[in-house]
Structure 1
Amino acid sequence: MSDTTLDALVIGAGVAGLYQLDQLREQGLTVRAYDTASGVGGTWYWNRYPGAKFDSEAYIYQYLFDEDLYKGWSWSSRFPGQAEIEQWLNYVADTLDLRRDISFDTTIVRAVFDEDTHRWTVTTDSGDTIDTQYLVTCAGMLSAPMSDLFPGQQDFAGQIVHTARWPSEGVDLAGKRVGVIGNGATGIQVIQTIADQVDALTVFIRTPQYALPMKNPSYGPDDVAAYKARFDELRENLPHTFTGFEYDFTDAWDDLTPEQRRARLEADYENGSLKLWLASFAEIFSDEQVSEEVSEFVRAKMRARLRDPELCDLLIPSDYGFGTHRVPLESGYLEIYHRDNVKAVAVKDNPITEIVPEGIVLADGTRHDLDVIIMATGFDAGTGALTRIDIRGRDDRSLAEEWGRDIRTMMGLMVHGYPNLLTTGAPLAPSAALCNMTTCLQQQTEWISDAIGYLQAHGKSVIEPTQEGQDAWVAHHDELADANLISKTTSWYVGSNVPDKPRRVLSYTGGVGTYRDETIEAAEAGYKGFAIS
């Protein structure tokens, strides 16, 4: 056991943590990052499952604070895979010389605020303690896997693995009977990748998804030069769009003729990206009639590929609107179900009840015998990374207990009652779900660095949201969310995938640019809504 004293402690060494560490170190603070993983990368360290890749264009999923850092890395394709993304984050860590201030293979298990010293005492899984003034969480919005879900998992005679904890040595699937639980963005990537490797593939489907085809061209030198030449444009544009992508909503539905609308939908669909979701018509999130028309456009595209009526019923959504769940990109995913060795099993009305040594058992008693079970069962999004740490604020209040009753934050950056606890990827900010993550995480870490710099420059030591400030933000967040069709659906966007999780739209739905303006305005007004001492 050892004791360490810091000015700032950063939890996580992924996209947010690396940049946060760099910024605070540049301010002259004594700062250290801690990560459970053995290397940098965060999400892109853990998610090594077959087919894992970007669905944000690579050239926008980058740091924009340093032109040389941006241009010093070249992507091989529009949507590269996990190995290349992990290499990029290692390039960042090496270029900025960050490793000397990162402790790997170390899990933060407890953090307690001392009201006398106004500092945090942080404990690791090995029993080491760290005394720090600022505790900055960059633990990820999708980093707490939902893995222990079914009775009998420990009794399975084969191998069971969650996609977010895929072994670095891989999993031998050749000639095996494989079951995949889950068909969200991750499940789709896995399913379309392994279907031709396994002897038999059984996919257990609870909620069908509106999936869009991905167009993923390889990049040659001219392509790389072209996107690098856009650095200034991207740096200026991305932080101000609705979702932090390069494209944005431009036309109102009612301003176009039916023919013009159709042409716009076709063009965005053919783009082979998330553009149909994030830049076609904003009304898909608020107008049920528009939502239905665009949803039917996507359904028709899917029906034309699936052909089989039974598969259409199983794989095409009908009870929620396009875009109100996370929209996955796919590469030949639908056609996988035409293969003789692939079987889709509906489990919405006939759910999985247990896992036995031989395989998976459904409510009607049907048993599916398997050698490998892959759990693409998602995460306790937004909250899980922090509620799995015992965080104690003023009066020994527990963040896990508070969020177990009601999920509240101040701009997704702090929580009332927890002074000097600064958060990224937390609920009630776009980074909780509805954003190109690097765009939002850069903005949040910069805000946090500026806030700490403000305190240092003014001889202050503590920042905390006021109760009134937090209440006002939650009310503003909820007003926007309640007008959004996302709030009417059942998905991880509202915490529905986690038993007993309080229902609230996790992500700020007012747009990335608007959120940025709100946080900057608060700071420029002397951190309005926050108490500084």
Structure 2
Amino acid sequence: MQVQQKYEEERQKRLRPDGDAQYVDLDTSDQFKYYRDDPWLDERSDKITISDNEHIKYLILGAGCGGLLYAAKLVKSGVPASEIRIVDSAGGIGGTWYWNRYPGLMCDVESYIYLPLLEDMKYTPKHKYSYGGEIREYLTALADKCLLSETAMYRTKINSLVWDDEQHQWKVNMSKARTDQPSLEMNVTTQFIIAASGLLLHPKLPGVVGIETFKGHSFHTSRWAYSVTGGSQSNPTLDKLSDKRVGIIGTGATAIQAVPHLAKYAKHLTIFQRTPSSVDTRGQHETNHETFSSTVATHPGWWKERNLNMARHLSDAIKPTDTNLVNDRWSICHSYRSIIGGPNGPTSMEDIPAFVASLHASDLPRAEEIRRRVDDIVKDRGTAQSLKHWYASWCKRPTFHDDYLPCFNQSNVQLVDTDGKGVDSLTATGAVVAGQEYPLDILIFSTGFRAPLSGGPAARADMKVTGRNGKDMDAKYNEDVATLHGVITHDFPNFFIPGPFQAAATANQTFTADVLSEHVAYIITQAQAKHPGQKVVIEPTKEAEEIWTGEILRRSMAFAGMAGCTPGYLNGEGLMDSLPMEARMKAARWGIWGEGLESFMNVLKRWEDDGKLEGLDVRAV
């Protein structure tokens, strides 16, 4: 009970009435739009591969892991690559790995399960946790192999999609940005649209008073300014920092990886912390090719099996015969089922207190071990106390690093613990916390992205989607979201959605994307196989999507452990707990499958094996 009381005390410090409004969304801010400028453009970024008024059979929004997986699965199912076009607002392939190139960037789940289609590519990752540059290069190679690179169009934003019920296709308006030229606006049509724009897309800044007055260099970590710090992603020798006072706001997953490099090169580094991350052991090491071949990539299907094994461990769904294949600190975080679901969840309101208590009991030994680790590493007792996380492991994305905590033993590194309040204000020359100004030459915002659950597919991509009879997609998601399997929704024919709402999740988003992209490819190819040579329209019935929504709601109590979490992007900065019951029930429609990813996959398999495309209205037109 003492630990639970401490959790609640720390949570109360961080609750704010403004919720997500405390941040500046760079995609909607004119004043600070320069923070989102693309520093990575090259000659491929301006290439125009789509013509005005062109008809495209399969249009995919997003050139990251998700978009590439949807395209690759279509190709594997027999769709010619020439019928697919990928567009992305970024200047190249990679999605979040295109934008994020900060020093120390690495995958936070094992690369052997993260990198998509490893078996097809016959590739061995260089490290157990791949670094960002390698991931981006791998995704580029994957696009090349699937013959998608040359036809993809970058720096392209879809502005609107309108369903044409007479022609049975989508009318698409999009803008192609160009260097030293006005944007090129074009209109195309498409039979199928897949909106795989990703979850970590829109960087945000804290709405700190005086942010516009700071006169030093400042940037967001997703647009790392190597021109200011020195070095490059491939050679992160930040030699321009040797005489600089550097500040970084934020101590989440990005900062955990970037801080060790800043601490190594900066004259002085000040780290402004609102809420500490839980930082467990990483155990990074190079991949031994012989060991990889003999113990990891041992037989066809190993990638899926390894991913399922990891998903079972995180959902606390381990079978008696299961060994821990990934065998790292992530894979023993069984209480993570609180955010991704798992078997044997509560079936009534009366079951919830005991269920939540069991989650905390499961989590406490791990949490205490992580807090002891801070004491073991950080020498200054006050600093160590400030670096301990006081919330359940599932409330924020757990982090893993071997070099972050030792940084606080360096004489040039200072932690400013804002005790849950954040930085008070910025001046021309520094940051102010509790009345004290900390002088800075460079300020780095490690403040994350727009909450991935803050809007539907249209809102996430900043586009307007109008379906049949003028139905607005944002309105549907805000009022009565409903889908079939999380991938398609009534009134929006041939428009495919990669979850996460009403689908499933695990810590490895690539595996979730793999599952959903395979399912979507099955739906599209089977629908067309039923009407060979004809144009088809695919749409769930209203009844089918309400039945599926009911299944989501029936399992929603699996996420009862999220109540009382410290504020973060997973709970609307804590405001979810204050919603009236009617609003909570409405929000539950946005939930995911409460029994875990493997259970969700089994449901999809039974549906596919049935072969009837039950719940879908498939018409030849």
Same-fold status (TM-score > 0.5): yes
Give 1:480's aligned residue: 555
What does residue range 20-59 of structure 1 map to in structure 2 within 5 Å? 20-25=70-75, 26-28=78-80, 30-59=83-112
Q: Equivalent residue of 2:602, what SS?
A: helix
Q: CA deviation at 1:247?
A: 11
- Residue 216 to residue 108, structure 1, CA distance change in 2 (3 Å): same
Q: Equivalent residue of 1:287, what SS?
A: helix
Give 1:513's aligned residue: 598
Give 2:544's aligned residue: 469
Residue of structure 2 aligned with 1:103, choices 150, 153, 157: 153
Distance 1:41 1:244 in 2: 28
Q: Equivalent residue of 1:222, what SS?
A: helix
Residue of structure 1 aligned with 2:113, choices 53, 57, 60: 60
Give 1:303's aligned residue: 375
Q: CA deviation at 1:138?
A: 1.5
The answer as to whether partners of 2:270 and 2:416 remain within 8 angstroms in 1 is yes
Q: Compute the TM-score of the two structures, normalised by the length of structure 2.
A: 0.74
Distance 1:285 1:389 in 2: 42
Q: CA deviation at 1:401?
A: 4.2
Give 1:375's aligned residue: 445
The answer as to whether partners of 2:314 and 2:332 remain within 8 angstroms in 1 is no
The answer as to whether partners of 1:8 and 1:133 remain within 8 angstroms in 2 is yes
Give 2:121's aligned residue: 70
Give 2:290's aligned residue: 222
Q: CA deviation at 1:201?
A: 1.7
Residue of structure 2 aligned with 1:190, choices 251, 255, 258: 258
The answer as to whether partners of 2:314 and 2:335 remain within 8 angstroms in 1 is no
- Residue 372 to residue 309, structure 1, CA distance change in 2 (3 Å): same
Distance 1:524 1:317 in 2: 46
Distance 2:291 2:314 in 1: 17
Structure 1 stretches lacking a partner, 5+ long? 253-266
The answer as to whether partners of 1:494 and 1:506 remain within 8 angstroms in 2 is no
The answer as to whether partners of 1:361 and 1:367 remain within 8 angstroms in 2 is yes
Q: CA deviation at 1:530?
A: 3.4
Residue of structure 2 aligned with 1:344, choices 404, 412, 415: 415
Q: CA deviation at 1:479?
A: 4.2
Q: Equivalent residue of 1:102, what SS?
A: coil
1:112 aligns with 2:162: yes
The answer as to whether partners of 1:240 and 1:514 remain within 8 angstroms in 2 is no
The alignment's C-alpha RMSD in Å is: 3.4
Give 2:237's aligned residue: none
Distance 1:112 1:231 in 2: 46
- Residue 30 to residue 228, structure 1, CA distance change in 2 (3 Å): same
- Residue 284 to residue 389, structure 1, CA distance change in 2 (3 Å): same
1:424 aligns with 2:498: yes
Give 2:57's aligned residue: 7
Q: CA deviation at 1:528?
A: 3.2
Q: Equivalent residue of 1:10, what SS?
A: strand
Structure 2 stretches lacking a partner, 5+ long? 1-50, 176-183, 231-239, 343-354
Distance 2:125 2:409 in 1: 33
Distance 1:61 1:349 in 2: 33
CA deviation string 1:421-478 (max 9, x = no partner): 11125333334xx232222211111111111112212236222333443344344334
- Residue 48 to residue 409, structure 1, CA distance change in 2 (3 Å): farther
Q: CA deviation at 1:162?
A: 1.8
- Residue 59 to residue 346, structure 1, CA distance change in 2 (3 Å): same
Distance 2:227 2:486 in 1: 36
- Residue 394 to residue 383, structure 1, CA distance change in 2 (3 Å): farther
Q: Could you tell which deviates more after superposition, 219-228 or 139-148? A: 219-228
What does residue range 84-483 of structure 1 map to in structure 2 within 5 Å? 84-125=134-175, 126-147=184-205, 149-167=207-225, 171-172=229-230, 174=241, 175-226=243-294, 229-232=297-300, 234-238=302-306, 240-241=308-309, 243=311, 249-250=317-318, 272-278=328-334, 287-318=359-390, 320-362=391-433, 364-379=434-449, 380-382=451-453, 386-387=458-459, 388-404=462-478, 409-431=483-505, 434-459=506-531, 461-483=536-558
Structure 2 counterpart of 1:338, one-letter code: N
Distance 1:136 1:438 in 2: 16
Distance 2:101 2:145 in 1: 24
Distance 1:183 1:94 in 2: 36
Between the two proteins, the alignment pairs up a number of residues equal to 512
Give 2:47's aligned residue: none
CA deviation string 1:178-201 (max 9, x = no partner): 222221211211112221111222
- Residue 498 to residue 485, structure 1, CA distance change in 2 (3 Å): closer
Q: CA deviation at 1:353?
A: 4.2
CA deviation string 1:312-341 (max 9, x = no partner): 3322122x2123421111122112122222
Distance 1:401 1:151 in 2: 33
The answer as to whether partners of 1:286 and 1:484 remain within 8 angstroms in 2 is no
Q: Could you tell which deviates more after superposition, 13-22 or 342-351? A: 342-351
CA deviation string 1:118-160 (max 9, x = no partner): 3211221231112011110111122222246445434331222
Q: Equivalent residue of 1:430, what SS?
A: coil
1:80 aligns with 2:130: yes
The answer as to whether partners of 1:59 and 1:75 remain within 8 angstroms in 2 is yes
- Residue 153 to residue 532, structure 1, CA distance change in 2 (3 Å): farther
Give 1:264's aligned residue: none
CA deviation string 1:208-239 (max 9, x = no partner): 22211111111243234335642425245145
1:492 aligns with 2:578: no
Q: Could you tell which deviates more after superposition, 26-35 or 80-89? A: 26-35
Structure 1 counterpart of 2:256, one-letter code: I
Distance 2:468 2:127 in 1: 49
Q: Equivalent residue of 1:202, what SS?
A: strand
Q: CA deviation at 1:300?
A: 2.4
CA deviation string 1:69-101 (max 9, x = no partner): 332x23221112111111111221222222122
Q: Could you tell which deviates more after superposition, 19-28 or 243-252? A: 243-252
Distance 2:267 2:155 in 1: 36
CA deviation string 1:351-408 (max 9, x = no partner): 334434323344x444333222222222221556741222222343333344456765
Q: Could you tell which deviates more after superposition, 509-518 or 165-174? A: 165-174
- Residue 167 to residue 286, structure 1, CA distance change in 2 (3 Å): farther
The answer as to whether partners of 2:297 and 2:303 remain within 8 angstroms in 1 is no
Give 2:618's aligned residue: 532
Q: Could you tell which deviates more after superposition, 450-459 or 20-29? A: 20-29
The answer as to whether partners of 1:241 and 1:511 remain within 8 angstroms in 2 is no
